[in-house]
Amino acid sequence: MNLSRYFGRARGALRRKQKLAAERAIVAAEFDAAFYLSGNPDIASAGADPLDHFLLHGWREGRDPSAKFSVSAYLETYPDIAQAGVNPLVHYVQAGRAEGRKPRNPLGFRHQVIATSLPIEARIAAAAERTAKIRLGAADDLLAALSRSRTGLKALHITFSHDDYTANLGGVQLCLQREGARLAQLGRDHLHIYPATHWPVVRTTEACPLGVLLNGERLGVFTASDIAELLRHAGEGAVRSLALHSLLGHSVDEVGAIARSAGLSGGFFWLHDFASLCAGYHLMRNDVQDCGAPPPNSPACGVCLYGPERRRHLAEHERLFEMLELTVVSPSRSALEFWRSSWRFRAAGEVVHPHALLQPRGAAPAQVEGRLKVAFAGMPAPHKGWPVFRELVARFVDDDRYEFHHLGARQAGGVDATFHAVSVTDDQPRAMQAALEAIGADVVLIWSLCRETFSFSAYEAAAAGAAVITNPDSGNVAAFVEEHGLGRLLADEAALAAAFESGEILSLSRGRRAAQVYDLEFSALTVDLLMETA
């Protein structure tokens, strides 16, 4: 045995153990074990000591020790600490706080979004790279699907969107599920077409095969020519219709060719977002600020990452409206009026058709007045206001006046809020409403940074008896609150924090405002409009 090496390893192990013990003593008061375990279920399931894991591995992996400290933000803001290779929380407690260093990004989450955003050209290149790896299905397989159709495609509704609505969660996907369910009740065929991989823009010269669903069954990936041939092979149809739910990832020429092969010269164009005005379909300059859709030659578009592709989207949607007689369908009056004022397309008509309506159900069940239950409902994404909720929780988590909840399909780390797993599907359309009602949510923060064209979350919150808190840039959420008086419109994040600090927000508790509850009456989207014109 090499005794020198043996004792060297032993001394090294002892030093590491002593260092770990010393660092534990330094940061123990700043470390939130419950927060760490809830945001890192892999650590919880492994049974590891959370503080030891953070000190030995977690900080290097970018895992935050509490809602009040951001590892990535501290290292990015203070590169001298990153270069030194020391644990950022240890440094902050030992010296950083006294030096005036901030535990979270002093520039806010918007700076982080901008710093990590990919240029639109890089996103297009990545889509092209993914596309090159896709294997096409055989055209004969597509034709064989005719035997599994309900009507031989004679009674057929064709839809286009940006993805496979059976494999992804979201508002547009839920709309297509509901549209498809109603078509099934009517005995009609539903052919859904989507880009086989995500594309961030409308395609012009770029190639991409198309995924195909028939009555909710995935048939495979084919060329636009294969799909057009399928429709020609099926022959003329007695009842056929078309609905465009999103043109992202599609080619206008391919859409037109497929529609003509089905004998269609027009249909419906849905305003689920504003992709017809810009590749940045949320109309958020650099993904952080509402832009208001200025003229495409404006300086504002010149500094936006989506600016280089805005003219493409306007031009291609202009061609679409010239090629097909399309009736524009908006889920809200506010979205339609904004869209109409932003650009002039040659639409065959316009109609407002909400995705859901509120039907009064009566007074909300009485509950004991206690802490104000503040909820975030849905996807924890920046454009939905998740960072604003996260900062609110970090600031007021120790305030006895409030308790915080997150309801959604997936849990996100970095926030000390009680998580409730909730997935809204066509089979469980009121799952979010029921969950909000079950916990007795007083208010739901819907701090969308983008112009929402509808917002299921706002309707679900109101139906459950919760008040909606939002901002002026949230589109139809703001319009909904102002029209129905079911919440509070606050000017900005400073006003939001002030309302919580002063306690003024407590006036929105269920008891103080005599909360009412509602039933949600869902639409069948395009099928409703088809029935009206039948």
> DSSP code of 197?
S
Angle between the N-to-C axes of helices 252-261 and 224-234, in degrees from 0 to 180, rounded to the nearest 10: 10
Nearby residues of 98 by Cβ (< 8 Å), 6 or more positions away: none
> DSSP code of 516?
E
Average pLDDT for the chain: 92
Token pair, residue 325, equals: 């007689």
Structural domain boundaries of the chain?
Answer: 3-105, 120-353, 359-522
Nearest-angstrom CA–CA distance, 288 and 20: 40
Q: Using 50, 70 and 90 to split pLDDT, how confident is the model at 517?
A: very high
* Amino acid at position 391, single letter: E
Q: What is the pLDDT, as a whole number, of residue 4? A: 59
- What fold characterizes domain 359-522? Rossmann fold (3.40.50)
- The pLDDT of 136-165, averaged and rounded, is 93
Task: Encode pLDDT of 270-298 as tens digits.
Answer: 999 999 999 999 999 999 999 999 999 99
Q: What is the pLDDT, as a whole number, of residue 7? A: 44
C-alpha separations of 163 from 123, 141, 194, 466, 512 in Å: 16, 21, 5, 32, 44
Which CATH number, 3.40.50.1980, 3.40.50.2000, 3.30.70.20, 3.30.479.30, labels domain 120-353?
3.40.50.2000
**H-helix or E-strand containing 238?**
none
Nearest-angstrom CA–CA distance, 397 and 391: 10
Nearest-angstrom CA–CA distance, 463 and 366: 16
> pTM to 2 decimals?
0.85
Task: Encode pLDDT of 64-114 as tens digits.
Answer: 898 788 898 888 889 999 999 899 999 999 999 999 998 987 677 888 788
Shared fold status for 120-353 and 359-522? yes
Q: Using 50, 70 and 90 to split pLDDT, how confident is the model at 39?
A: confident
- The pLDDT of 304-316, averaged and rounded, is 96
| CA 470 from centroid of its chain's CA atoms | 16
